[in-house]
Amino acid sequence: MFISKKIKIAFIFILTMLAVDSFSQSNDFRVTLDAGHGDHDFGAVYSGRIEKNIALAIVLKVGKILEAQPKIDVIYTRKTDVFVDLVERANIANRANSHIFVSIHCNANKNTAADGTETYVMGMNKIASNLEAAKKENSVITLEKDYKKKYEGFDPNSPETMIGMTLMQEEYLDNSISLASKVEDKFALLGKKLRHGGVKQAPFMVLHKAYMPRVLIETGFVSNPTEGDLLNSEEGQNDIARAIADAIISYKFEFYGDGDVEDVGEKPSQILKENTEKEKETKVPEVFKPTTVKGDSTGSIYKIQLLASQKKIALVPKNFKGLQNVSIVYEDNIYKYLYGETADYEKAKNQLSEAKSKGYDSAFMIAFKNGKKISIQEATKQ
């Protein structure tokens, strides 16, 4: 009997959701394993060594080891050669209320002598090599449908733009570093087979939205002929999978013991729901321009800058202590919230006093002429 591809996908999605729901109700330690890339996204490819295939093979081997352990549940972002959006990978872990998220990849470099593992935690470290690694992995989003709308404000070629997005790195950073350290320690035991490169920090989009301790593992360089062949071999994949699985088991034992896991604090699924609702409430236009009003005799208009923030805030009075007529401009990856708009300098001074009386002690007046910001002195010059 012929079954359409859409029906198959829908059926798989329903089964996944049922499995995730059952996992989230258990008292077991829940691990989400993420095999990087998939389907039309091949990842790095060198001499027949394909990252998406190697990552998936290692993930399945890690999962098999973990599934044989008591009190550990394994959730997969993919178990076959399919493409999964970066944000969806994190959300699979969030919906399952996973305790950790582990994304597995292979590294690559034009310098084919480059070798060794690297295990990353989420962060804004600006070391050039770390940012290059993030650019490579984040570029996957360009293959996603409507990625510019979905990841509004984020440029995959400039990982630093993630600074302007909501980061929850600090809450989970210590535990993420602990997990990453255990992974690298286990890699070190492989000796000459694989050089361990240590724990690093970089802004990876796939880690950004996972609300739990999370790491991204670069298992080695497929671009290096010797190391690439190791990654592509059954023996090499078994060694790497065992090292990662042992690190996860060690982490679980250290933080949760060998029994049931008691969840403390807000669950990832709750955070996901709250943040989704918050994003809907704070949705603002993509392009922000000061509205045009007729200037005074000098052609100037005045506004009061209330605050600058990396977050979008809905332009409703309740978010600005009752102040109405609040507008927004986006400059240098920062949202600036402006109150009022008048060609009358004296009226602008009154609006500044009003803003300060509402608690905006650092508010100040700014001026525009012909759509460009100018100094107050220039604006008031007769």
- pTM recorded for the entire structure: 0.66
CA–CA distance, 158 with 139 (Å, rounded to integer): 10
> What Cα–Cα distance (Å) separates residue 26 from each residue in 71, 151, 261, 283?
9, 33, 9, 35
Determine the 3-state secondary structure of 68 from DSSP. coil
Domain coverage including residue 63:
5-279
CATH of the domain at 89: 3.40.630.40
pLDDT digits (tens, 9 = 90+) for 321-364: 889 889 888 776 678 899 999 989 899 999 999 999 988 888 88
Does 108 reside within a domain? yes
Per-residue pLDDT 10s for the chain (382 aa) are 445 555 555 555 555 555 555 555 578 999 999 999 999 999 999 999 999 999 999 999 999 999 999 999 999 999 999 999 988 999 999 999 999 999 999 999 999 999 999 999 987 655 556 656 666 676 666 776 666 665 655 666 665 555 444 444 457 888 999 999 999 999 999 988 899 889 998 878 888 889 999 999 999 999 999 999 999 999 999 999 999 999 999 999 999 998 888 776 788 998 888 877 766 654 444 434 444 444 444 578 899 999 887 677 888 888 888 898 898 887 766 788 999 999 898 999 999 999 999 888 888 898 888 777 888 878 877 5
Are 181 and 323 part of one and the same domain? no
Q: Answer whether residue 192 is part of any domain.
A: yes
CA torsion angle 371 374 380 382 (round to 10): -80
Q: Are residues 41 and 101 in the same domain?
A: yes
Q: Which of 210, 188, 207, 208 is nearest to 197 (CA)?
A: 188
Type and span of the H or E element at 237:
helix 234-256
Cβ burial 158-197 (10 Å sphere, 16+ → b, else e): ebeebebbeeebeebeebbbbbbbbbbbbbeebeeebbbb
Do 268 and 346 fall into the same domain?
no
